[in-house]
Amino acid sequence: EELGIEAQVGEWLMDVPQLYPDKRLRLEVRHITAWKGSPRGREGQAMTWVAADKLTRYSMPPADVPVVGVLRQPDRYLITPEPD
């Protein structure tokens, strides 16, 4: 809604709870697998495409900070047994 696109919503990534004096919100973060339209900041916010490892260079709302941490993690981990 904030970007003016029609998104095809994919897998759940995380939830970010937000507490305000008068209400509670939950930001549900999901992967987007495709979209229609040209993304743009519809609420006056600036927008640019950047690699995940560069996201910390930008100021953003507090609710977005934990999302950046998750996006910067590898999408796969190799777990091996302990050596004998």
- The candidate with the shortest Cα–Cα distance to 13, out of 30, 1, 27, 25, is 30
3-class SS of residue 57:
helix
pTM score above 0.95? no
Q: Which residues of 65-74 are buried (b: 16+ CB within 10 A; e: fewer)?
A: eebeeebeee
Q: What is the pLDDT of residues 5-62, one digit of tens each?
A: 999 999 999 999 989 899 999 999 999 999 999 999 888 888 889 999 999 999 988 8
Measure the CA–CA gap between 58 and 70, rounded to whole angstroms.
16
H or E stretch including 6?
Answer: strand 6-20
